[in-house]
Structure 1
Amino acid sequence: MRDPLEILRTTFGFSGFRGVQADVVDRVLAGQHTLAVMPTGAGKSLTYQLPSQLLEGTCLVISPLIALMHDQLRAAEAVGIRAATLTSVDSNRDETIERFRGGALDLLYVAPERASGEGFRTLLSQAPLALFAIDEAHCVSEWGHDFRPDYRLLRPLLDRFPDVPRLALTATADAHTRADICEQLGIPRDGMIVAGFDRPNIRYAISPRDQTTRQIADLMADQPGPGIVYAQTRAATEKLAEALGRTGRPTRAYHAGLDPAVRARNQADFVASEDMVICATVAFGMGIDKPDVRFVAHAGLPKSIEAYYQETGRAGRDGDPAVAHLFWGADDFARARQRIAEVEPARQPGERTRLTALAALVETAGCRRAILLRHFGEDPPEACGNCDNCLNAPAAVDATVVAQKYLSAVFRTGQMFGAGYVEAVLTGQSSERSLMNGHETLSVWNIAEDEEAALIKPVGRALLLRDALRANAHGGLEFGPGARGLLKGGETLRLVVPPKRERRRRGGGNAALNPNGDPLFEALRNKRRELAQDGNVPPYVIFHDSVLRDMAALRPDSRQALGAITGVGTRKLEAYGDAFLAVIAQAG
């Protein structure tokens, strides 16, 4: 067998493995069943792509979405791997099957729905198999955040070929989910390799919603590269895309209700773009193998910590700096509790635990990253230096008295008015409504001290978040189970007061990608864009920005020197090397 390091260098352009890649590849080459939990951007695909160049037969990759398969197909073909997809939208199905039967494919990508079918099992028995790679393996677990029933049907297929090693891959699985993946896919517990969950290049930030469109527009101005904005409804994606498009930035909407052709075109435009923002429901993302996403924004609360980690993990997969910013509102938690009340009783405790974990992430005055990593069983440092709270520590104040006044105002006014009216009562803002209701004579009228007035809105959010208050069907506030402890004095409310947002210098994202303002880097990006258009592939398939930065810094003057740069493999050197060398030579 050829040396894996030789393949790593010549095919992929890397001088060494990263993280646990070598451990995973060693197990695969030894024919051992393996579960690899590796953060997004850690190079999971390499752990089956590289063995596909060394093992006899085809590596069958089971992947959940057609778009993801096609993105990975382009990347594999760009480095010279013989790869194909077998999906419902492929027109060359017969040709692909013949190549597969003839052993002329290194990789074959299929969906779990196809892989679990009896007819496909028959096809597999007619072709040489090297490896089963199950991507997004958390989908097999009911404990995972993105359960797909078809993944549960894979075990009979795998067991029919007991001598073919199986490699399950995921970026998002807590201890319970990992154990379930192993059980469902027949992987021994000692075959688990967990790389850790930290994504140090992502800067996490969380803010209360306050004119969400303006907040996201500010984030876009700071981050000129591609971005994803997650909204909670189809209508919200279209509304945000239209509003954000007025900034002059190209924007698109994406959700399951769009015409399939429009949805596919919007996704293709985003994948090919270097600055587009796509506003989408959570249906978008798992199928995107786009490494240069510079920011992910949530315009509402995600479903769980696992979902948040998975969705934010779509930023910065190329290793360059990226931002994940969540904008939340107290009504998010109210709606989440309503959804929990509507699911079957057996699931409710687990769902409440997930919501509590999200509340802790939102409320903390400490390190966001530390909370995320502890959720996945790690023991991180107390501060990461790259989240909003670490970079600009918020104040934490005792707001118990204000909370008690707020709850008293809700009670005295009959538990039937919304937050705006309660605030008006507490601050003594007279109106026809308050006069008519006789509320200006209540003991809670105008009882908020001057310094307390600024805390009323965040206290209201905190009370809703903690389930001390709930919104009724008419939008009025009423007591929840968390109210009693605060009113009776047994509990306190510590409130995190975010620091005022400092206006960042516009274009910070470009400065991070091109820190020295090197015109050669921009010229290389222009050449990459031109080659990408000619080849009908996204620019990142040709080279990542990090490779272009190395070219600009090292200024290679020969193919040999260019080939020594990390990320420049033999196939890409032959295809693109002369074009980039010409740009470097012209720059002098």
Structure 2
Amino acid sequence: MNPQDVLRTTFGFPDFRGVQRQVVDRVLAGERTLAVMPTGAGKSLTYQLPATMMEGTCVVVSPLIALMHDQLRAAEAVGIRAATLTSVDTNRAETIERFRGGELDLLYVAPERASNEAFRNLLRAAPLALFAIDEAHCVSEWGHDFRPDYRLLRPLMDAFPDVPRLALTATADAHTRDDILNQLGIPRDGMIVAGFDRPNIRYAISPRDNMTRQVADFIAGQTGPGIVYAQTRKAVETLAEKLSGNGRPVLPYHAGLDPDVRRRNQAAFVESEDMVIVATVAFGMGIDKPDVRFVAHAGLPKSIEAYYQETGRAGRDGDPAVAQLFWGADDFARARQRIGEVESDRQPGERARLTALGALVETAGCRRAILLRHFGETPPERCGNCDNCLETPKSIDASVTAQKYLSAVFRTGQTFGAGYVESVLTGQSSERSLMNGHESLSVWGIVEGDEAALLKPVGRALLLRDALRTNPHGGLEFGPGARPILKGEAGLDLVLPPKRERRRKGSGAVANPVGDPLFEALRDKRRTLAQEAAVPPYVIFHDSVLREMAATRPATLAELSRIPGIGARKLAAYGEAFLEAIREAVDA
């Protein structure tokens, strides 16, 4: 069979997408390849499909056990012979025997095994088809998610020079891509870059004022499962508790939870069709759930690369999804403090990452364009699917207000917080202002009327641009960006986002047929079959497959087989059950 036939019979798709065919052809030709493909572009197919055609086993290096097990279930569901070899597997002896006997298409392992001489000896005793390195950016210190164990993969692969190697990542800028090629021994002409655009994701970014209310309002406008990222374990638990009781299940996830609780919460989310999980950013890299409909950041991610990867956990099935970020100026202040604590040779790169994030949250232009330009692309000026493109924000010159703000910080001694500085500027008398003698200052009460409404966003912008910093006691003091603004050598343009009305529930929803009894019957059937097979519903079929069933109403297995996403194995396993569900719903 040729790759096109395998694509149709095993995976149920009529055509390859994007650069998939290019990557598959290189792998089948025995070439070394780095594939940079956005999440949701079908990276796993580029090694799974060749693995079914090549002699021997494809060894897949994947960073997290939970991710391996999700990928294992998906592979087995289409009839691929697959197994994992991890510390939690109880059938290790059986897996090793199958591997040695050439009875596996795929074997998933963690990078830590690369340093294990026993594992290297096992590889020598088994027929090898391919090394596939998932999340390959983890090999680079320039990447946002460096894993030292990935540095051991090249010596392992070099011991088997005739076995082709395929590195895969969705998140790598030009510098990181060069490092991956070098660290994994892949020639420069072996790199295939598919682009970074995720057009189905709508990006939106808002300043933080009341985090819990903002997140709750956002979730109220969404349907389907979603992830809310908080920055600390305490913030995860607090936010999860406050979001509970709003009409849908909410669970926390972080490394400090009891391992059994953490596993149960993750399993519940993976299997759910409407759950919200509040988590630290480690969550998501370990799941392969395609139907996440939204990702919300309750705080600033650590870099544009991290933001791209974390938001990329939404909409992997290609259906519409939303990525919402809420940020505060104190996020940037804390980030600068952390940069000051890292090794000096890393600080310039970390400052550049923070500056790039500042440009993303402050822009009045297209968010997607900034993201794509960061990864070296030349996108259109407007995407039509981010908050700024959908509703253009107002931009004003707030340089004079910024000078007043900085003057007030200076004249009050660079020791007071933002609230007090703003009260001085607006002339709000208090016991403290009288005691400090600040009511006689030249800056007392110099801001009034509409300008007063600018003080909070101006203060936020000054902190973001490092014109102001916070001391350990929360007081404001000058940063290196203060002097140019005070002297009029630099201005401050302020972006004022439009007032957002609270969206009614479901306004960000996928275009599933609402109220269609046939579609709901198909979802019920999928849920029952998933429970019987102990797999998440999406492993049976994605929503897009059910929508096509509801629209075309196939009456025979032959008609059903023509729907994209239904391969031979799934047709045999579930075809009759879904045809029966269609007949019953139509006849009802």
Unaligned runs of at least 5 residues, structure 1: none
Instruction: Name segments (4+ residues, structure 1) moved above 3 Å.
Output: none
8 A contact 1:32–1:166 mirrored in 2: yes
Q: Which amino acid aligns with 2:92?
A: R
Equivalent residue for 2:344?
Answer: 345
CA distance in 1, matches of 2:267, 2:209: 32
Aligned-residue CA RMSD (Å): 0.8
1:169 aligns with 2:145: no
**Residues 462-501 of structure 1: pairs in structure 2 closer than 5 A:** 462-501=461-500
Please state how far the C-alpha of 1:523 moved relative to its aligned partner.
1.4
Decide whether the 8 Å contact of 1:367 with 1:387 is kept in 2.
Answer: yes
Counterpart residue number, 1:61: 60
More moved, 512-521 vs 453-462: 512-521
d(CA) in 2 for partners of 1:509 and 1:151?
Answer: 38
Q: Please state how far the C-alpha of 1:246 moved relative to its aligned partner.
A: 2.4
Q: CA deviation at 1:519?
A: 2.3
1:115 CA drift (Å)? 2.8
C-alpha separation in 1, matches of 2:526 and 2:298 = 33
Superposition deviation, residue 513 in structure 1: 3.2
The one-letter code sitting in structure 2 at the alignment partner of 1:350 is G
Partner of 2:530: 532
Q: Report % sequence identity.
A: 81
Confirm or deny: 8 A CA contact 1:25 1:51 kept in the other structure: yes
For residues 207-222 of structure 1, what are the structure 2 equivalents within 5 Å? Answer: 207-222=206-221
Opposite residue 531 of structure 2, the aligned amino acid is Q
Distance in 1, matches of 2:304 and 2:6, equals 37
Residue 254 of structure 2 is aligned to residue 251 of structure 1: no
Q: Write the mapping of 1:79-478 to structure 2, written as runs, cut at 5 A.
A: 79-478=78-477
1:520 aligns with 2:528: no
Q: Give yes or no for contact 2:290–2:315 (8 Å, CA) kept in 1.
A: yes
Match of 1:76 in 2: 75
Tell me by how many angstroms 1:252 deviates: 1.0
Aligned residues between the structures = 586
Query: What stretches of structure 2 of length at least 5 have no aligned partner?
Result: none
* 2:573 matched residue in structure 1: 575
Work out whether residues 513 and 547 of structure 2, in 8 Å CA contact, stay in contact via their aligned partners in 1.
no
Mapped partners of 1:360, 1:267: distance in 2:
34
Is the Cα contact below 8 Å between 1:402 and 1:452 reproduced in 2? Answer: yes
How far did residue 503 of structure 1 move? 2.6
SS in 2 for 1:53: helix
Shift of 1:509: 4.2
Aligned counterparts of 1:13 and 1:152: Cα–Cα separation in 2 = 36
Which residue type is aligned with residue 97 of structure 1?
A: I
Q: Residue by residue, what CA displacement relative to the aligned partner does 1:337-382 show, whole Å, maximum 9, x if unpaired?
A: 0000111111111110000000000110000000000000000000
Q: Report if aligned partners of 1:253, 1:278 keep a CA contact under 8 Å in 2.
A: yes
Q: How many angstroms apart in 1 are the aligned matches of 2:485 and 2:434?
A: 29
- Contact 1:225 1:509 (8 Å CA) reproduced: no
Q: CA deviation at 1:504?
A: 2.0
Deviations, residues 51-96 of structure 1 (Å, cap 9, x unaligned): 0110000000000000000000000000000000000000000000
What CA distance in whole angstroms lies between the structure 2 residues aligned with 1:132 and 1:334? 43
* Matching residue's letter, 1:418: G
Cα deviation for residue 516 of structure 1 reads 5.6
The 3-state SS of whatever aligns with 1:382 is coil
**CA deviation digits over 1:540-564, x for unaligned, max 9?**
0000000000001111000000010
Alignment partner of 1:36 is 2:23: no
SS in 2 for 1:454: helix
Q: Which residue of 2 aligns with 1:507?
A: 506
The Cα shift of 1:517 comes to 4.0
Q: Write the distance in 1 (CA, Å) between the matches of 2:527 and 2:101.
A: 37
Query: Following the alignment from structure 1 to structure 2, what is the Cα–Cα distance between the partners of residues 129 and 96?
Result: 15
Q: Which residue identity does 2:551 align to in structure 1?
A: A
Q: Deviations over 1:376-397 (max 9, x none)?
A: 0000000000000000110000
SS in structure 1 of the partner of residue 340 of structure 2? helix
Matched residues in 1 for 2:426 and 2:526: separation? 59
Instruction: Give the aligned partner of residue 560 of structure 1.
Output: 558
* Code of the aligned partner of 2:527: R
Structure 1 match to 2:546? 548
What is the deviation of 1:130?
Answer: 0.3
**Contact 1:513–1:545 (CA<8 Å) still a contact in 2?**
no
Counterpart secondary structure, 1:455: helix
- Structure 1, 427-436 or 390-399: larger mean CA deviation: 427-436
Conserved? CA contact 1:316–1:322, under 8 Å? yes
